[in-house]
Amino acid sequence: MPHASPVPEAPTPKAWWRLNLTQQIVLGLVLGCLVGWWMSVIPVEVRKSWDVWLKVPRDVFLHLIKAMIAPLIFASVVQGFAGTGDMKKASRIGWKALLYFEIVTTLALVVGLGVVNFVKPGAGVVLPADAGSVVNLAKPQTLPEIILHIFPTSLIEAMAKNDVLQIVAFAVLFAVAVIAAGDAGKPVFEFCSSLTQVMFKFAGVIMKFAPFGVGAAIAVTVGQQGLGSIITLGKLVLTLYAALVVFVVFVLGAVIWIAKVPLKPFVRAVREPFTLAFATANSEAALPKAFELMERFGVPRGIVGFVLPAGYSFNLDGSTLHLAVASVFVAQAAEATIPGFHFDLGQQITMMLMLMLTSKGVAAVPRASFVVLVAALESFKLPVAGAFLILGVDALLDMARTSVNVLGNCLASVVVARWEGEFDDAKAEREFGDRAQST
């Protein structure tokens, strides 16, 4: 008599008190607001002591972010570029991808600059009392200096300084050498592939500190300025979301039309990684699914394997647009805080040109763009205190910009495949068309 098959056990429901990372960050944000509100009503001397100690978890979080940027960027760029294994094809795909990345991210900066100047979310915002203390910290670089600065004299020095753009430049040239080395380069490629995965896990470990860092940052802000500052920051959040909607509809929509990307199947293919990125505020969480779905959508594996990882350093549309909005927001707030200070449109355009270069080195790691924002503010003598003001609502900003990053990179892989003449329309329709959805 045959034995009955055991009935599979239903998965144990997740306990209500076990929050995911995004929920933890939101909870940290709420608790930080409450602590800040309490701090705003206690004696000044006591509040100063709390300020000192709350800045510790905030700065520990930032230090950990900076510690992982260099190895992650280096390994992911080498893995993506050398993964093609063919120098000519890698060169051809690389130039097409980089050209596309540059055009689209530049348009992202233009959209961000236009929307933030129209809405003016920073007008009337008062920065903390020490906001002017960093004004004169550094002088802007000229364009020749920026170009020369791209190429490092020492990789170790570039990593020690967390000079992300130099690391990217070295990684691309190093990947070319790995391909040229043939079999001798395979162990190096495999090492970089393993290092990329390890650094993604390391990023997950660091992000466990995010609720504490964000909560401490918003507590300091609210403690100094009161709950009214949150309402002002709410205007910044709405401005970024509006700018991202404009970018997706008009810029990415135009790309879909020009490249003849089948719209409905594409939306069906990207909705899962897009939603995953938005819910977790983490591009890494969506990357494996994006790889799988873009290959099912009709993009060849070799193109997916290069364009998606390369896009994580060179095509972060959401993060690039966020940098434009955030930097001009701080400039607008500085005008309201520092007497006689003015940041005109010409200076904004110059800063956008710098961000157009430096944003290429922003790894797709939650809140890594904060580092580039601080560097840009320092270079243009803008108050770094404004960046820490933004950090308080960065969890909300990160959800939107991360999901747009993933959407933009998925579209980039399709565009490059179409440009190469290798996109499989029949496969896209078969896997994600109306008939596939009805079965």
- What is d(CA 94, CA 92) in angstroms, rounded to the nearest whole number? 5
- What is d(CA 415, CA 409) in angstroms, rounded to the nearest whole number? 10
- What is d(CA 202, CA 302) in angstroms, rounded to the nearest whole number? 27
Which DSSP string do the residues of 367-406 spell out, in sequence order? TTHHHHHHHHHHHTT--THHHHHHHTTHHHHHHHHHHHHH
Query: What is the token pair recorded at 277?
Result: 């990125």
- What is d(CA 304, CA 306) in angstroms, rounded to the nearest whole number? 5
Query: What is the token pair recorded at 79?
Result: 């893995």
Provide the pLDDT for residue 433: 74
Which DSSP string do the residues of 96-138 spell out, in sequence order? HHHHHHHHHHHHHHHHHHHHHHHH-TTTTPPPPTTGGGGTTS-
Q: 230: left (phi > 0), else alpha (psi -120 to 50), else beta?
A: alpha
Q: What is the pLDDT along the chain (439 residues), one digit of tens a residue?
A: 444 444 444 445 555 456 766 677 778 778 888 888 888 777 777 777 887 888 788 778 767 766 776 787 687 777 766 765 666 766 787 788 888 988 998 899 899 999 999 988 877 676 655 444 444 433 445 557 667 877 888 888 888 876 666 777 788 789 888 888 888 888 998 898 888 778 767 866 777 777 787 778 777 767 766 666 566 678 888 999 999 999 999 999 999 999 998 988 999 888 888 887 776 666 766 776 787 788 889 888 778 767 876 777 678 888 889 888 988 888 888 876 776 677 777 888 887 877 776 665 454 444 556 667 776 776 677 777 777 778 767 767 887 888 899 899 999 999 999 998 888 888 888 888 766 565 5
Provide the pLDDT for residue 257: 94
Provide the pLDDT for residue 415: 93
**Buried residues in 424-438 as b, exposed as e (16+ CB within 10 A):** beebbbebbbeeeee
**Nearest Cα to 70, choosing from 196, 204, 167?**
167
Query: What is the token pair recorded at 83?
Result: 């993964």
Provide the pLDDT for residue 421: 86
Domain annotation for the chain: domains and CATH numbers: 21-438 (1.10.3860.10)
CA trace torsion 272, 277, 283, 286 (10° rounding): -20
Q: How many CB atoms lie within 10 A of CB 208?
A: 11
**Nearest Cα to 108, choosing from 274, 300, 240, 296?**
240
Provide the pLDDT for residue 414: 92
The residue with tokens 């404009």 is 246
99 Cα distance to chain centroid: 20
How far CA 218 is from CA of 31, 136, 390, in Å, comes to: 9, 26, 9
Provide the pLDDT for residue 7: 45
- What is d(CA 235, CA 285) in angstroms, rounded to the nearest whole number? 28
DSSP annotation of 83 reads T
> How wide is the angle at C-alpha 357 spanned by C-alphas 354 and 359, nearest 5°?
100
**Nearest Cα to 69, choosing from 389, 375, 392?**
375
On whether the CB atoms of residues 405 and 277 are closer than 8 A, the answer is yes
46 burial via Cβ count (<10 Å: 0-12, 13-18, 19+): exposed
- What is d(CA 74, CA 144) in angstroms, rounded to the nearest whole number? 24
